[in-house]
Structure 1
């Protein structure tokens, strides 16, 4: 690292355990951030400012107005633009001396291994339970640590998995809980996201620098309403485990779904809004799907949606286990599907 570039990092170089050699470690490091939403917007600026040499950003989502209260890298003028690309444009201004790899796509079980291959560690900045298992399984298979963070209203969690033989995500959360709501369903305070994201960035830098006590085998839970902080310890699973092979379902846009011939399956609960009424639509709540599956023909093709994507993934898993193979997930949710349907065929949709 050139001497004229070191002044930028002088205040952290003088810290015990870092020094010039530590700064060189950060410069040589490659970190992938999965998700450029609330947590990603908190993590990315600190990684860039600290001098992480290569930062990867993977996210196929677009900026929406409801993001702006917590996703502080974006502004009203960027609505509709790529989160990954705009986040990269923002942090490169923070530190022009770093390299950024942008993946304008959603992480899936199919592209995870190839995407992770070029990075030293992975930071989970998503709010998607299924993708979190994909991250864990892929990191375990590729021998890479990942820094976990999640938000529920005023509370956040942070941990580090697959670090130097330490526990994995499945060791503490062995089964996917598809009923857990994401930010769109449960709500979120922007400062909660900011705090948890900064803690994730700190864990990543401790790992890369080889300093401090990493949250491996420990789950930190912070509650902003009462300023309480708890740390729970956990260990590896008692039996040797093999990487779980997750079933990957094809994602499709609301526009693609409206022009297909498959059955549309709405797995939301009765009374949820907006109400969507379309041709070839079946309403069967996830809570009743197990007992109502006999009403469905496994030879039919089903394109599944819910409010934001969490329950549709759970429904697809359930149907797959019951022998259904023609399954796809509609990206977004009921609101996006309704908006697209109204714009194309106003007479076919009702509220």
Structure 2
């Protein structure tokens, strides 16, 4: 553990006086090594707060350059940085913020050929990437190296944060088993994003990293935090399989949860209660429009605020079954009727 110097004590005073953190926590931060994937909308605020908090060694993986359209949300940069490497520009700005830490810039794209080499030697990873291929690569590399990582994503007014592969907890593929096709993916370039949203989510990501490094609080492992800035709502969803009590119940019974049904069981249920069965596709609107089903579409994150039919038997479906299982978990305690997770789209 790195010993704090006089300048450390002065700089981090307001943090050190927190009884939960103290000198010991600050020393852990000074000795920590964090790799940040992407120095864009999420990476910029996360990097600023990690550097400000005194994380001793930070790596930045980014191959892009600063563009004018970045500046409304990537406030680490300015007009003079347009055309410059984000990795280099970020490193320079962050060093001015806190010269006590070490920063290394990797001006390259994260690909399977360099992922293991880049990750080696770091304690944890913050994934600020904006595409599924990189997110899966981050997940798979962290699983391979047994490293935890913080996930963040933004789209329009909505943001998501979670912690994966932490102390035996769920991994990214437990929530997103496979990437949607190219024409089904959300795209901020086409759909837009509120400028301060990445600042909010990036700050949460930095907080999760600091909690894991210092051992304070409860990291978002097994939970997905969803924030909507348009109506100031926030919800925390349990990730299917992450509840240890539920896992114990499954081990005792030797069967899947009572709410998980297969296609044959669904057909039998429909035959017995044809007028009462309500099938709900919990994918996002853009996914539903691309591959419509003969079902009602209510995205997973809108279930708690949606007007659900009280006299129906709800059967949730999605592309892979992950979100349909989460739907039942989300509504437990809120919906008194029967609910089932089918885990297939039924009608393609």
Q: What is the TM-score of this pair, normalised by structure 2? A: 0.67
The equivalent residue for 1:152 is 155
Aligned ranges 1:82-161 → 2 under 5 Å: 82-161=85-164
Q: Among residues 212, 216, 219, which one is paired with 1:211 in the alignment?
A: 216
1:140-173 deviations in Å (ceiling 9; x for gaps): 0100000000001000000000000100000011
The equivalent residue for 1:4 is 7
Q: Among residues 35, 38, 43, which one is paired with 2:38 in the alignment?
A: 35
The equivalent residue for 1:174 is 177
C-alpha displacement at 1:236, in angstroms? Answer: 4.4
Aligned equivalents of 2:45 and 2:185: distance in 1? 23
C-alpha displacement at 1:121, in angstroms? Answer: 0.4
Aligned equivalents of 2:41 and 2:239: distance in 1? 27
Is it true that 1:78 corresponds to 2:81 in the alignment? Answer: yes
Aligned ranges 1:1-351 → 2 under 5 Å: 1-178=4-181, 179-236=184-241
C-alpha displacement at 1:35, in angstroms? Answer: 0.2
Moved over 2 A (4+): 235-239
Aligned equivalents of 1:54 and 1:186: distance in 2? 35
C-alpha displacement at 1:234, in angstroms? Answer: 1.3
Contact 1:166–1:235 under 8 Å retained in 2: no
SS in 2 for 1:70: coil
Gaps of 5+ in 1: 240-286, 288-351
The equivalent residue for 1:326 is none
Aligned equivalents of 2:161 and 2:8: distance in 1? 32
Gaps of 5+ in 2: 251-289, 291-348
Contact 1:168–1:236 under 8 Å retained in 2: no
Q: What is the TM-score of this pair, normalised by structure 1? A: 0.67
Kindly tell me the number of residue pairs found equivalent between the two proteins.
241
